[in-house]
């Protein structure tokens, strides 16, 4: 190869390298890179959203001065439960412990005795679902498993009021109603309702399952869920009316700071003061007795 031809070949090779070097690539060449880019973007926006939420919660803590906590019925005693003069108050954690200890019931707080699965006599599963904890997803899973494993599924209708407080007779009526729905050997039922002890009516006790969630995140989720268009439409079918525009546009922070009724989380709230508003998860595990208030 002559010197001129060699030089021409090198120049062409350099031009090709430069073309690839400075070529603009508008999108990743491989789908894996595109997926990675989307994942990084989603993670970034999720982080920003969480960071913003934490900042707003801290701002609310600063705005809510001790006097305002008192107005909400919350004191340091209720938060810590370690005040020397309140040790015998059954509404505190320490008071409950002392009560169970003094009445000889402490031994029952053992997983061996609390788990009633091994004592069941019929294959009945009761999902007394805590609202806004992902219960719809679990119900969908139960439906699919029911088709695969041949067990019956049923759930309460949307229009049925949540079982926040039932009298003894109402509990008995509901227990019989649930068992009457059972048409197959294995049965799973889902409803928003407080715990019911079926044994007190001489009925087979179902196996209870449930889900829980961070309490602050849950009440915020419930607040905005009530304002979704589809839920508002469902409520309109039941009540025949919509709320005013302010109800749908007000954010959770303003609701708490203005001490609106639906955003007051008072200590020791009675059943009658908390009708089906799902502010406490504990009721779904305690029941309908006055002690659960």
Reported as a single tens digit per residue, the pLDDT across 110-166 is 777 777 677 778 899 999 999 999 999 999 999 999 999 999 999 998 878 788 789
Reported as a single tens digit per residue, the pLDDT across 152-195 is 999 998 878 788 789 999 999 999 999 999 999 999 999 999 99
pLDDT for residue 206? 92
Cα–Cα distance measured from residue 263 to residue 278, given in angstroms and rounded to the nearest whole number: 11
Domain boundaries along the sequence of the chain: 66-106, 111-209, 215-292
CB atoms within 10 A of CB 105: 10
- What does the chain look like in DSSP terms, one character per residue? --HHHHHHHHHHHHHHHHHHHS---SS-SSHHHHHHHHHHHHHHHHHHHHHHHHHHHHHHHHHS-HHHHHHTT--HHHHH---GGGTT-TTSHHHHHHHHHHTT-GGG-SHHHH--GGG-SSEEEEE-PPTTSSHHHHHHHHHHHHHHHT-EEEE--TTSPPBS---HHHHHHHHHHHHHT--SSEEEEE--B----GGGGT-PPPEEE-----HHHHHHHHHHHTTSHHHHHHHHHHHS----HHHHH--HHHHHHTT-GGG---TT--GGGSTT----STHHHH-SSGGG-
- Statement: residue 62 has pLDDT above 70: no
Q: CA 123, 108, 282, 196 torsion: positive or negative?
A: positive
Reported as a single tens digit per residue, the pLDDT across 235-244 is 888 888 888 8
Cα–Cα distance measured from residue 101 to residue 85, given in angstroms and rounded to the nearest whole number: 19
Q: pTM for the complete prediction? A: 0.62
Question: What is the band of 214 on the pLDDT scale with cuts at 50, 70, 90?
Answer: very high
pLDDT for residue 13? 63
Positions marked active-site: 192
Angle at 87 between CA 90 and CA 274, to 5 degrees: 35
* CA-based nearest residue to 124, from 175, 159, 163: 175
Strand order in the sheet with 207-209: 152-155, 186-190, 123-127, 207-209
- Mean per-residue pLDDT, 275-291: 79
Q: Which residue has the higher pLDDT, 269 or 180?
A: 180
Q: How far is CA 246 from CA 241, 249, 255, in A?
A: 15, 5, 11
- Statement: residue 211 has pLDDT above 90: yes
* CA-based nearest residue to 126, from 193, 171, 185, 184: 193
Q: Which residue has the higher pLDDT, 29 or 279?
A: 279
| Tokens representing residue 257 in the block | 């700071």
Q: Which residue has the higher pLDDT, 12 or 118?
A: 118
pLDDT for residue 82? 42
pLDDT for residue 191? 94
């Amino acid at each position: 190869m002559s010197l001129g031809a060699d030089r021409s070949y090198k120049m062409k090779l350099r031009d090709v390298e430069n073309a690839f070097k400075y070529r603009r690539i508008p999108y990743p060449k491989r789908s894996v890179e595109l997926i990675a880019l989307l994942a990084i973007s989603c993670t970034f926006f999720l982080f920003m959203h969480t960071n913003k939420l934490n900042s707003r919660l801290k701002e609310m803590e600063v705005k809510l001065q001790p006097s305002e906590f008192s107005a909400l019925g919350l004191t340091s005693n209720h938060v810590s439960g370690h005040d020397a003069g309140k040790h015998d108050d059954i509404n505190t954690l320490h008071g409950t412990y002392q009560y169970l200890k003094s009445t000889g019931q402490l031994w029952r707080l053992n997983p061996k005795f609390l788990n009633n699965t091994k004592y069941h006599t019929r294959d009945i599963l009761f999902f007394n679902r805590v609202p806004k904890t992902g219960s719809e997803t679990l119900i969908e899973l139960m439906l699919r498993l029911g088709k695969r494993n041949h067990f019956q599924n049923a759930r309460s209708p949307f229009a049925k009021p949540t079982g926040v407080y039932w009298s003894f007779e109402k509990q008995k009526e509901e227990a019989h109603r649930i068992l009457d729905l059972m048409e197959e050997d294995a049965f799973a039922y889902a409803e928003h309702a407080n715990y019911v002890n079926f044994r007190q009516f001489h009925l087979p006790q179902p196996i209870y399952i449930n889900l829980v969630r961070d309490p602050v995140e849950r009440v915020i989720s419930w607040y905005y869920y009530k304002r979704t268009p589809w839920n508002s439409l469902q409520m309109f079918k039941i009540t025949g009316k919509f709320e005013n525009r302010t109800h749908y546009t007000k954010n959770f922070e303003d609701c708490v700071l203005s001490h609106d009724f639906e955003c007051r989380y008072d200590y020791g709230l009675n059943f009658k003061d908390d009708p089906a508003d799902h502010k406490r998860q504990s009721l779904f595990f305690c029941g309908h007795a006055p002690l659960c208030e």
